[in-house]
Structure 1
Amino acid sequence: LYHCALHTLSLAVLVAGNVHPECDFVTELKKKEAECLEAPQERGNATAPGCKRTWDKLLCWPEADAGEILALPCPNILFHFMKEPAGMIKRNCTKKGWSDPFPPYHVACPVEDEIPLEEQSYFSTIKIIYTVGYSVSVTSLIIAVTVLIAFRRLRCPRNYIHVQLFFTFILKAIAIFIKDAVLFQKEGIDHCSFSTTECKISVVFCHYFMMTNFMWLLVEALYLNCLLLSSLSHGRRYFWWLVLCGWGFPTLFTLIWILTKFYFEDTACWDINQGSPYWWLIKGPIIISVGVNFVLFVNIIRILLKKLDPRQINFNNSSQYRRLSRSTLLLIPLFGTHYIVFNFLPEYTSLGVRLYLELCIGSFQGFIVAVLYCFLNQEVQTEIGRRWHGKRYGLVPVWRRTRWTVPSSSGVKMTTSVC
C-alpha cells in the first residue's frame, strides 16, 4: 500500500522537476513514526502479558493488554489517494504480540495503484511542451545575443541590459535541463534520500540562475523607469549600479542559502523545501522582485497614459483601448508581471493547473522576450537591413543616429535612448 501511494505521485514529480510531493508523504510518515516511538511507554518494564506500542509503517498502535482488540481508522495521509470511503483496521493483542492487521490495509484503505491513462498523457504532454519551450527559448535567445553583440551600433547600455537578461534565460534553461538529467537519471531512484555532490550543485545553480533571471527582469524595469523619468545621461549613470544588483544580490542570497543548507539542513539534494525556513532566502527575494516589478509596471502604464495625446483621450474610443492594451501586453513578458498570479495561487491549487502555468508558459518566456525586444526592435531591423543591402549591392550604408522606441506593434512610441 505504501508503494502504491508513492507510485501515484511519481509521474508528476518527473514533470515538475524540483517538486517532490512523494517526499512530503515520506516525511510525514517519518514524523509520525518518530512521535510514536518517542512517546513514553506506559507499561514500562512490566512483565505482565501485553503488547507494546509499535509502528507498522502506516499507523501507530498503542499499548494494549493481552486479549484486547484495537481498531484504528485509515491514516489521514492516505485520504488523498483512496478510491473508496475509509474503513477500520483491527489488530488483536495476543500473548505472543500483535496479530496481523485485519482486514488488510489494501482492503480497508484501497488506494489508486495506477495512474489513469488520461493523466499519464497529460503529464507527458506537459513535459514535452516545457522541453520544447526551453529549447526554442535558448535557440532564439542565442541568436538575439549574437545580433546585439555583432552590430556595433547596437552596443549601448540598454542593449547591454537586454543581453544580460537573455543570458539569464539561457543559463536558467540549461540549469533546469542539467538538474533534471542529474536528479532523474534513473526511474527507480529514491528522490527522498538521493544525495550526491553533483545533484546538490545542479540544484544550487538552478536556484541561482532562477533568482538572477527575476533580478534582471527587475533591472530591465528599473532602467526603463530611469530613462522615462530622467535624461539619458542619468540613465547611463545608473547602469553599473544596476549590473551590480543584477548579479550581486542573487550571488549573496544564494551563498547564504548554501551555508544554511550545509550546516543546518543537509538532506537529500537540497531540493525538498516544504516547511523549510531557509527556503525564504531564495523565495523571499524573488517575491519581492516580482512585487516591485508589478509596481513599476503600473507606473509605466501611468506614464503611457500621460504620453498619449490628452486631446484624444476618450475611453469610449476603441482605438485608444487597443493602443494601451498593446503596450501593456508588451511590458508583461519583459517585467514578469504574470508571476504575480503564480505567487498568489493557493498552495493546493490543482497540480495540473500549476504545472501548465509555471512550466508551459514560463518555458516560452525567453522566446517571447527575444522576439519582442530584439527581433521586433526597429533598430535591429534597420541594422540588419542595412547590412544585408550593403553586402548585396556592394554599397557602404549611410550610417545615421537613430532613436529607439518601443516596438511599433505597441502603438505607442516612446523615445528612451540613443545608441
Structure 2
Amino acid sequence: MAYNGTISDTEQLSFQEMMIKEIWQNFMICNETILHKPYPSDGYLYCNATFDGYDCWDYARAGTRTYGKCPEFLKHQFGHHLGLPYKDCNIDGTWYRHPDSDRVWTNYSPCSDTEKVRRAENVLFVYFSGYSLSVVCLVISLLIFTCFRQLKCTRVTIHKHLFISYIITALLWISYYATSSFDPKVYVNNPVWCRIIHVLAQYATVCNYAWMFCEGFYLHTILVMTFTREKILLIICYITGWGIPVLPSAIYSGLRSSNPVIDKNCWHKDTYLKYIFSGPIAVSLIVNFIFLINVLRILCSKVRSFNQQESNPFRQSLRATLILIPLLGVQCFAIPLRPDESDEYGQYIYDMISAFLASFQGFLVSLLFCFLNGEVLFLMKNQYVVVRRRMSRTETTGKSFIYSAVQQADANANRKKSIQLANQKIYCKPEFTGTTQPQQLEDQHYVLDQTTDV
C-alpha cells in the first residue's frame, strides 16, 4: 500500500513547485516509516518496500498487485481521477520492470484517466474529425474549380486561396497535436521542429482569417464601387492573405523563443503573447461583420428595386446571411467569451462549440460555395452527360471493332480452308464471309456519332 503525504497552500504554487514539494514530503515520510519496517516474517515471499520517485510503496506479497493513491499534484493537474496507480510484484519477489526501459515501473496512467482528460480527448476528436472531413471536401472543391475553365474568375480565385488556407491550417494543427499531445517525450523535450510546426499553424490560422477578410473586402468593394479593377483587388488580397500574417508570426516566435519561462512544452500553454495573433483576427472579424451588414443592406435595396411585388425581402436577406456567415467567419461572435476556469463544464461546452465551428467551417464553406452552387452543379451535370455519351459511344465502337475482327478472322480461316480444299481437288459452295454485316454496323455508328456529338 502506498503512503501519501498532504500539501497545504497549493493554490499559489505552480504545477512544478507543487510536484517537487509533494515528492520531497513523501520521501521524507517514507524514509521515516515504510523504509524502516522489517521484512515480513510470515514465511511468504515479498517484494521490498520502495520509493518510486513519486510515492512510497509497502512490502507486497509475490504474485500480487498492490494499489496506491494518485499524487495530489496529478489531481490538481488532471482533476478527480477515475482509477488508482498500481505496482505488480512478480512471483520471484521482484517488482515488475517496464519492457522498454528495463526499470522498475509504477503504472500512474489511471491517475490521468479523469473526466477532465476525457473531455479534452472529446474536443480533440471533434477537431480531428472536422478537419479531416474539411480537408477532403476542400481538395475536391479545388479540383472542381481548377478543372472547369468557366469558373476561372477573380471571385473563384479568392475562393481557391481561402480553401488552400483552410487545408494548410487543418493539416498543420492535426500534425501539431498528433506529434506533441500524444507523445510525452516530445512534449517534455520541446524540440525545435515541434515549435516550428506550432508557429506555422498559427501563421496559417491568421492567413485563414485574412482570406476571410479578403472575401468580405472583395464582395463589399464590387457591390459598392461600380467600376473596379479586379486585378488590383486581387493583388491586395494576395498581400493581405499571405504577406501580412508573416509579421505577427515573426514577432510571436521571436518573443517566445527568447523567454525561457514560456519556451517549453512545445508551446502548448497559452500566454500573453496570444494577443499578437488574436488581435489581428479580432479586427478582421469585426470589419467582416461591418461588411456583412452593409452587403445585406445593399442586397435588400436591390431586391426591392428588382421585385416591386415583394414587400418583405426578409427571406432573401436571411438566405444571403446564412450563406455569407461561414464565408466571412462571423459565426465566431456566437461564442465571444470563454467561461471562468472555475466553471469546468462551461469551459467544456465552450471548447466543444469552438472545435465544431473551427474544424467544420471548411466543410461548410465547400458545401455552400462548391457542391451546392448552382453554376458548379450545372457544369458538373453537363460534364456528366458528356462523359456518359462518350462512354456509350466508345462501348459501341469497341463492340463494332471486336465484331469486325471476329468476322475478318473467320473470313481468313474460310479462305485458308478453301485453298486447302482446292489443293485437294475438292469443290464446295462458297460460305458467307460476313462482309455485309460489318458495313451495316459502320453505317449505324456514323448515325450514332451525328446524333450524340456535343
**TM-score for both structures, normalised by structure 1:** 0.63
Counterparts of 1:145-294 in structure 2, within 5 Å, are: 145-186=142-183, 188-189=184-185, 191=187, 193-231=188-226, 233-265=228-260, 267-269=263-265, 271-276=267-272, 278-294=273-289
- Give the C-alpha shift of residue 26 in structure 1: 10
- Give the C-alpha shift of residue 353 in structure 1: 1.1
Counterparts of 1:37-186 in structure 2, within 5 Å, are: 56-57=21-22, 123-186=120-183
Give the distance between the partners of 2:359 and 2:190, measured in 1 at CA.
27
Indicate the residue corresponding to 2:317 in structure 1: 324
Percent identity, please. 24
The answer as to whether partners of 1:166 and 1:366 remain within 8 angstroms in 2 is: yes
**1:308 counterpart SS class:** helix
Give the distance between the partners of 2:5 and 2:141, measured in 1 at CA.
47
Q: After superposition, give the CA deviation of every residue in 1:83-117 in whole Å (9 maximum; x if it has no partner).
A: 9xxxxxxxxxxxxxxxxxxxxxxxxxxxx967567
The answer as to whether partners of 1:291 and 1:340 remain within 8 angstroms in 2 is: no
Give the distance between the partners of 1:255 and 1:114, measured in 2 at CA.
35
User: CA, structure 1 residues 289+4, in 2 after alignment: closer, same or farther (shift >3 Å)?
Assistant: farther
Q: After superposition, give the CA deviation of every residue in 1:170-208 in whole Å (9 maximum; x if it has no partner).
A: 11110011101221242x4484x4411121011111111
Indicate the residue corresponding to 1:63 in structure 2: none
Q: 1:358 aligns with which of 337, 354, 358?
A: 354
Give the distance between the partners of 1:313 and 1:116, measured in 2 at CA.
58
The answer as to whether partners of 2:186 and 2:266 remain within 8 angstroms in 1 is: no
- Give the C-alpha shift of residue 379 in structure 1: 2.1
**2:244 counterpart SS class:** helix
The answer as to whether partners of 2:134 and 2:362 remain within 8 angstroms in 1 is: yes
User: CA, structure 1 residues 132+79, in 2 after alignment: closer, same or farther (shift >3 Å)?
Assistant: closer
> Does 2:388 correspond to 1:388?
no
User: CA, structure 1 residues 195+4, in 2 after alignment: closer, same or farther (shift >3 Å)?
Assistant: farther
Which protein has greater RCO, CA pairs closer than 8 Å, 6+ apart?
1
Taking only aligned residues, the RMSD between alpha carbons, in angstroms, comes to 3.7
- Give the C-alpha shift of residue 150 in structure 1: 1.1
**1:267 counterpart SS class:** coil
**1:309 counterpart SS class:** helix
Give the distance between the partners of 1:156 and 1:206, measured in 2 at CA.
29
Report the residue type matching 2:244 in the other structure: F
Counterparts of 1:291-370 in structure 2, within 5 Å, are: 291-309=286-304, 311-312=308-309, 314=311, 320-346=313-339, 348=341, 350-370=346-366
Report the residue type matching 2:220 in the other structure: N
Aligned length: 306
Q: Which runs of 5+ in 2 are unaligned?
A: 26-71, 82-109, 391-451
Give the distance between the partners of 1:4 and 1:300, measured in 2 at CA.
64
User: CA, structure 1 residues 81+153, in 2 after alignment: closer, same or farther (shift >3 Å)?
Assistant: closer
User: Is the deviation greater in 303-312 or in 119-128?
Assistant: 119-128
User: CA, structure 1 residues 198+283, in 2 after alignment: closer, same or farther (shift >3 Å)?
Assistant: same
The answer as to whether partners of 1:220 and 1:335 remain within 8 angstroms in 2 is: yes
Q: Which runs of 5+ in 1 are unaligned?
A: 6-24, 34-54, 61-73, 84-111, 398-419
Give the distance between the partners of 2:237 and 2:453, measured in 1 at CA.
37
The answer as to whether partners of 2:292 and 2:324 remain within 8 angstroms in 1 is: yes
- Give the C-alpha shift of residue 147 in structure 1: 0.7
User: CA, structure 1 residues 227+165, in 2 after alignment: closer, same or farther (shift >3 Å)?
Assistant: same
Report the residue type matching 1:336 in the other structure: G
Give the distance between the partners of 1:339 and 1:259, measured in 2 at CA.
28
The answer as to whether partners of 1:332 and 1:338 remain within 8 angstroms in 2 is: yes
User: CA, structure 1 residues 359+128, in 2 after alignment: closer, same or farther (shift >3 Å)?
Assistant: same
User: CA, structure 1 residues 57+125, in 2 after alignment: closer, same or farther (shift >3 Å)?
Assistant: closer
Indicate the residue corresponding to 2:412 in structure 1: none
Q: After superposition, give the CA deviation of every residue in 1:297-332 in whole Å (9 maximum; x if it has no partner).
A: 1112212221221645645xxxx4333222111111
- Give the C-alpha shift of residue 4 in structure 1: 12
Indicate the residue corresponding to 1:49 in structure 2: none
- Give the C-alpha shift of residue 366 in structure 1: 0.5
- Give the C-alpha shift of residue 286 in structure 1: 1.1
Indicate the residue corresponding to 1:28 in structure 2: 14
User: CA, structure 1 residues 257+114, in 2 after alignment: closer, same or farther (shift >3 Å)?
Assistant: closer
Give the distance between the partners of 1:27 and 1:154, measured in 2 at CA.
60
**2:335 counterpart SS class:** helix
Give the distance between the partners of 2:186 and 2:172, measured in 1 at CA.
21
Give the distance between the partners of 1:26 and 1:190, measured in 2 at CA.
28
Give the distance between the partners of 1:171 and 1:302, measured in 2 at CA.
34
User: CA, structure 1 residues 136+274, in 2 after alignment: closer, same or farther (shift >3 Å)?
Assistant: closer
- Give the C-alpha shift of residue 343 in structure 1: 3.4
**2:330 counterpart SS class:** coil
